[in-house]
Amino acid sequence: MLCLFKIWPMQCAFVMMADTLADSYLLLWLVGMQWLSGRGLYVNELMAKKLSLLGCVAMMIATHNQANERSSSSFLSRGLLEVSALSNNISIAVLIGRLLIAVLFVYVGLHELHRLFFEPFTPYLPGDGHDVVWPKAVELLLAVPFILGFETVAVARLLSTSLVLEAFYAWSWWGISENYSFAQHRRVIHYREHFVTNIATAGGLLLLQKIGAGKYSVDELLKKRD
């Protein structure tokens, strides 16, 4: 809420980063312990979404730092200098952010589409959001240019749109009748987590409209050729 009104944005970003890192560390710890105990390597869709939130926070920090750099440059040069390119540090942050967000699209796309098309039975209830195919296919296709940084702004908009549509179509937690049962209550919480992480990731993607793909992207290489 404070970030929304631009109150202590960097402090809020680092708090969110710490919280997301703690969640990611816990998830990776659980995955590692499960693998070491011989039960296989299992990462579900929600786990991948949690990791993608790290990329969103990195985008937020990069955007704020870029705005500060431009303000400083403009002030020092009294308006004669315009910063047209991202600094190396910000470009690295944007690259890391892109790759972390891409974990969601690549892993979930490959894993879930393989499950839906090649496994005869689904472990989920009929109509469950995990079995909705189209957003996973769309996001997997768009993940390739997104990772490479090709037409980054347009691809980020398409991915953001897909995530929002998926959130409302597949993870509409408000439409689940809890019936005072513990299982239904857990399902509502699970759907709500998916919904919120989808919307948050979509917001992180939209930040790329402001800062671009950075130096380490196909877009930047094409600019240099021109």
Query: Are 154 and 129 members of one domain?
Result: yes
Report the pLDDT averaged over residues 105-124.
77
Query: Are 35 and 104 members of one domain?
Result: no
Query: Are 127 and 204 members of one domain?
Result: yes
Host domain of residue 29: 7-42
Query: Are 58 and 22 members of one domain?
Result: no
> In the predicted model, what is the mean pLDDT of the chain?
78
Q: What is the pLDDT of residue 83?
A: 42
Whether 74 is in a domain gets the answer no
Q: What is the pLDDT of residue 79?
A: 44
pTM: 0.76
pLDDT tens digit string along 68-111? 666 655 544 444 344 446 678 778 888 888 888 888 788 878 88
Task: Please answer whether residues 95 and 216 qualify as being in contact, where contact means their C-beta atoms are separated by less than 8 angstroms.
Answer: yes
pLDDT tens digit string along 28-41? 787 778 778 877 66
Query: Are 36 and 91 members of one domain?
Result: no
Query: Are 171 and 205 members of one domain?
Result: yes
Query: Are 62 and 101 members of one domain?
Result: yes
Task: Please answer whether residues 147 and 105 qualify as being in contact, where contact means their C-beta atoms are separated by less than 8 angstroms.
Answer: no
Query: Are 92 and 11 members of one domain?
Result: no
pLDDT score of 179 more than 80: no
Q: What is the pLDDT of residue 64?
A: 72
163 closest CA partner among 108, 209, 224? 108
Q: What is the pLDDT of residue 136?
A: 86
Q: What is the pLDDT of residue 165?
A: 94
Query: Are 28 and 108 members of one domain?
Result: no
* Better pLDDT: 5 or 12: 12
Whether 106 is in a domain gets the answer yes
Query: Are 33 and 57 members of one domain?
Result: no
Query: Are 49 and 62 members of one domain?
Result: yes
Report the pLDDT averaged over residues 174-199.
81
HEC string of 26-74?
HHHHHHHHHHHCCCCCCCCHHHHHHHHHHHHHHHHHHHHHHHHHHHHHH
Task: Count how many domains the chain has.
Answer: 2
Report the pLDDT averaged over residues 215-225.
85
Report the pLDDT averaged over residues 42-53.
73
Whether 76 is in a domain gets the answer no
pLDDT score of 151 more than 80: yes
Q: What is the pLDDT of residue 76?
A: 45
User: What is the amino acid identity at position 23?
Assistant: D
Whether 205 is in a domain gets the answer yes
Whether 93 is in a domain gets the answer yes
179 phi/psi in degrees, rounded to 5: 55, 25
Whether 2 is in a domain gets the answer no
Whether 198 is in a domain gets the answer yes
Whether 77 is in a domain gets the answer no
Cα separation of 202 and 166, whole Å? 11
